[in-house]
Amino acid sequence: MQWLKTPATVRVIVAVTLMTSTLLVGGMAIAKCQPGQMQEANLAYNSAVEFLNQQKWDQAIARMQSIVDVCPEHVEATRGIANAYAGKGDWANAEMWYAQVIELRGEEAEAGDYGNLAKSFTKLKKYKEARAEYMKAQVIAPDDCGVLYNLGVLHSASGFHAQAVEVFEHALEVCPQYRDNVLVQLSKAAGKASEQQRKAGNNAKAAEYAQLMSKYGGQAGGSTTYDMVKKKMAEKNYPEAINLLNQMLAKNPNQPNAQLTLARACDAAGQKSASVDAYRKYLALKPTDAEATGTMLQVMVEAGQCDRASAEAALAVRKLESQGRAALAGVYYSWGLALECKQDYEQARSQFARCVASGNAKYSGPGQTQVERMDGFLERARIEKKRAQQGG
């Protein structure tokens, strides 16, 4: 089976005001560590995580285990143990520790937590259990491409072919970058759904799914307008791609993947205002796409719409906060760019720092670079102010 990687959600939880109490883990009451112990545990984790980065799995497990022994509620150390076992290919232990992460986080568990556990179940060929975890992840992140694709595959593997068709059709709308893979899986799922319905005596439904199999199978292997768009995009012939997309959208504007591709094509062609307009139309159809929201805000900054981008970033963070900090990293980053554009370097630094702290690997490096840039601007402003005062 083909799998798409589900982006892991990382959230560092620093407890500084814990009172002595108990924690239920695996049905056992375990005393929570004191505030001072938690602070020491966080420092130890920052050292232990280097073993993970170096793929020294056994050392990472030993160091993380020592942290959990003192502070059993330390989520990041618990996840670190799971990640290390996964790195070793010991999926049975990875499953146990990823389940522990979810138990510790309770209602704060995010899509990535369930995705990690689902991947472990999949590696262990526990497809039913993996499917259940991806279904939980989809509730939290209904438009996450990795979650949708993997859930669709698991629906099919578990014999739920009609559900697989539904999920893959949704993925086809919100995940244009995976279109080819999704179309292949969608055609297969529709064919199996047709056969399943025929055996059950539901001939009308069987015919419907047979038509879907033919439709999507033809798109997967044929030459469609969108195939031509992809070719023009690959050739960086953005004007022709934009023309084709506008033709498609003139016939049916409610095509999220076409609107998103148009936004990207206009951005690449330097048509920033047109790109923003296309992003807005896409987000009107898919308002929970945090990644596209962050990209639109960045294009707004590049178009000189800094005040508006800053205001909309604040609204987006409030609206999408349930998705977790990792998902909002792009929004934080673009908010920082908007504030920098307004020369509000202190607040810009704050947003870039939130981006770094989100744990999103895609943005942590660029975010740290921006933090250091803002520090430079602030230091320069401090020196200039001091000189002015001395001169006065």
Both structure tokens of 378? 């602030």
Over range 151-163, report the average pLDDT.
94
Query: How do the domains of the chain map onto residue ranges?
Result: 1-158
Over range 84-106, report the average pLDDT.
95
CA distance 229 to 237: 9
Reported as a single tens digit per residue, the pLDDT across 51-94 is 988 999 999 999 999 999 989 999 999 999 999 999 999 999 99
Output 14 or 318, whichever has higher pLDDT: 318
Both structure tokens of 333? 């980053």
CA distance 349 to 313: 15
User: The dihedral of CA 14, 145, 194, 122: what is its sign?
Assistant: negative
Reported as a single tens digit per residue, the pLDDT across 208-229 is 988 888 777 667 654 456 777 8
Cβ 170 vs Cβ 134: under 8 Å: no
Does position 9 have pLDDT exceeding 70, yes or no? no
Reported as a single tens digit per residue, the pLDDT across 310-349 is 999 999 999 999 999 999 999 999 999 999 999 999 999 9
Percent of the chain past pLDDT 70, that is, above it, reads: 89
Write out the H or E segment, with its range, that includes residue 270: none
Does position 262 have pLDDT exceeding 70, yes or no? yes
Does position 384 have pLDDT exceeding 80, yes or no? yes
CA distance 344 to 341: 8
Does position 14 have pLDDT exceeding 60, yes or no? no
Q: How confident is the model at residue 251 (pLDDT cuts 50, 70, 90)?
A: confident
What CATH number belongs to 1-158? 1.25.40.10
Q: How confident is the model at residue 12 (pLDDT cuts 50, 70, 90)?
A: very low
If one counts every other C-beta atom within 10 angstroms of the C-beta of residue 327, the result is 27
Does position 24 have pLDDT exceeding 60, yes or no? no
Does position 27 have pLDDT exceeding 60, yes or no? no
